[in-house]
Structure 1
Amino acid sequence: MKRSLTFCLLLAACNTPSQGYWGADKMQFTEGGMRFTAYRKGNLIEVLRTSPEVLPTFPQVALRAVPGVERLTGCKAVWAEGDQALMEMGLSCDGAKAPKRKRRPKTLYCDIVTGPARDGVTYGDMRCETG
């Protein structure tokens, strides 16, 4: 029983806004066969893809989410960032400028380069770059 309740609570959390959007206006829409839930606070909107898809890319999802957001809000989506499950968009409404993108920490991408093995231990190096 405890496991079932925990599982249900975890599933319910998949369709909730992030902390910055708690209390925001909730909207739901379907565009291009994908279902979305959006939370709007002023000229920022957080969009969650709620329909199951097999390995969609961010561009595929954004190309469906943007027209739906623009139709719902009557504003123009100026920028979008995030991933295939959750994205944030800046809106330009009534000719006003869209808010600037939030500063986010850079991502560090590393490749592991293995070296020779000695005494059962493989030695190597990491080569990293920011993205």
Structure 2
Amino acid sequence: MKLHSQIMRSWLLFLLFVLGACDAAGPGFKSSSKIERSIEGTKFALRRQGDVVEAIRLSPEFLPKFTEVARKAAIVAQLETGCAAKWVDGDPALLRIGMSCNGARPPKKPSRRKSLYCDIEELYGRGNSYAGHMICR
């Protein structure tokens, strides 16, 4: 029993260590201060560098859709900065938002490799097996 509790304690410490790094700033945002904001049940860590805001989703969500997370991140970025969100790039966990402040042009959206965004529309599970269907754009 003692070995079991030591293993559980080790896993808990490991989990706390990993989760503590979940909102670490991305490249170019390490010197920016972090602000946490929530909207519609989703919590974000926001960092601003000039006219770009980095939003890291802190709330656990099961299979979040990029479009929905991007919408929420754009709203909190606009509320926090007072600027207009002109584009959102990234994935459901880490987003970059290009802002237009005081009528200025937003920054150029970073070029990316072609990506597919996929949403799982149906998911069926039985035991340890899962099957479903996905729509990719």
Normalised TM-score (structure 1)? 0.74
State the shift of 1:104 in Å.
2.6
Task: Identify the residue that residue 71 of structure 2 maps to in structure 1.
Answer: 63
Q: Deviations over 1:41-84 (max 9, x none)?
A: 00011101101111111001112111111011000000001111
Q: Deviations over 1:16-54 (max 9, x none)?
A: 111221011321111111101111000011101101111
What amino acid is aligned across from residue 91 of structure 2 in structure 1? D
Task: Identify the residue that residue 5 of structure 2 maps to in structure 1.
Answer: none
Q: Which runs of 4+ in 1 moved over 6 A?
A: none
Task: Identify the residue that residue 25 of structure 1 maps to in structure 2.
Answer: 33
Task: Identify the residue that residue 81 of structure 1 maps to in structure 2.
Answer: 89
Please report the RMSD computed on the Cα atoms of aligned residues, expressed in angstroms.
2.0
Q: Which 5+ residue runs of structure 1 have no aligned equivalent?
A: 109-130
Q: Which 5+ residue runs of structure 2 have no aligned equivalent?
A: 1-8, 117-136
Tell me whether 1:54 sits opposite 2:62 in the alignment.
Answer: yes
Residue correspondences, number: 109
5, 16, 23: which one pairs with 1:8?
Answer: 16
Tell me whether 1:101 sits opposite 2:83 in the alignment.
Answer: no
32, 47, 58: which one pairs with 1:39?
Answer: 47
Q: Higher Cα Rg: structure 1 or 2?
A: 1
In 1, the alpha carbon distance for the partners of 2:42 and 2:108 equals 27
Structure with more strand by fraction: 1
Normalised TM-score (structure 2)? 0.71
